[in-house]
Structure 1
Amino acid sequence: MKLTRRDALTLGLGATAAALLPMSATAAAEDAIAVFTGGVEAGAGDITLTTPETVENGNRVPISVEAPGAMAIAVFATGNPTPEVATFNFGPMAGRRFASTRIRLTATQDVVAVAKLADGAFVRTSVMVKVINGS
């Protein structure tokens, strides 16, 4: 097989695009987080994200989030094409600000939870989840 200049250019551009995909996915997640927070920087605080660090199948990854005093908790998957996974809203009568569900992860990536507190502040945490078999 003879490799032409056009073939070499196509391969090079394809490799470059593939290398930039994770960065663009992470940027999309950060943009989605900024929309949730209204551009306010989220700090560290009293928020707990529980998920396995390694999963066999990315199709059903169990997660739970808890943030005492939170009015809302949003969950994002930084490597998914659509990073917004779920938003849980809590009313003033909610006894415990806790939610659990199963999510789908396309590959190994960070799962991020951001909580909006009653005073308008935001707290954030993340866990790297390794997906052994792609979904």
Structure 2
Amino acid sequence: MDVTSTDHSRRELLRLAALAGLALVVTSGRAEATADEVSAAIAKLYGDKKLESGKVKLDVPEIAENGLVVPITVEVESPMTDADYVKAVHIFADGNPLPNVVSYKFTPACGKAAASTRMRLAQTQNVICIAEMSNGNLHRTSAAIKVTIGGCGG
């Protein structure tokens, strides 16, 4: 058995697989969700239900010097009781490949409807947050974040 030829063909296979993966990444481009796609994603979740303002606080930087790690904190005003609580919070962005960035589920046992994360933003874009209350009401807020150095290779 020739170990050298087996190692060589294994390395060649790995090299070809890596090149194929790279080609897929390069040819797929950087598709970005549009404002219409964000609206469609929201409509898919909630149809034409009225989105009210208020109750939702979205804490994001006005300018993100590095789009790789943009901190986002959302907090929803709610007593978080069995009769009145936040069921879910959804965060959308109109410049990311997928419009729905993250979703959080809450119960009265959480005590507080708040969450923090970091997201990658490739470019300046709008971040939209929707809170779904236990009574079916929806609350919306948004913020524009200016990105000076892209987080997705920009």
| 1:26 maps to which of 35, 47, 65 | 35
1:65 aligns with 2:85: no
2:123 pairs with 1:107: yes
Whether 2:99 is the aligned partner of 1:90: answer no
Larger radius of gyration: 2
> For 1:113 and 1:36, how far apart are their aligned partners in 2?
13
How many matched pairs?
Answer: 114
Q: How many Å separate the matches in 1 of 2:150 and 2:77?
A: 34
Q: Percent identity?
A: 39
Structure 1 gaps, min length 5:
1-20
Q: Measure how far apart 1:80 and its partner are.
A: 1.2
**What does the per-residue CA deviation read over 1:23-56, in whole Å, with 9 as the maximum and x for residues that have no partner?**
x711011111112324312111210000001011
Deviation at 1:92, TM superposition (A): 2.1
**Deviation, structure 1 residue 94:** 1.5
Match of 2:145 in 1: 129
Aligned with residue 53 of structure 2, among 44, 47, 71: 44
Q: Which runs of 5+ in 2 are unaligned?
A: 1-30, 79-85
Equivalent residue, structure 1, for 2:21: none
Aligned to 1:119, the other structure's residue is in SS state coil
Find 1:56's aligned residue among 65, 75, 81: 65
Kept in 2: contact 1:74–1:113 (CA 8 A): yes
Distance in 2 of aligned mates of 1:118 and 1:71: 6
Q: TM-score, normalised by structure 2?
A: 0.69
Q: Point out 4+ residue stretches in structure 1 off by more than 4 angstroms.
A: none
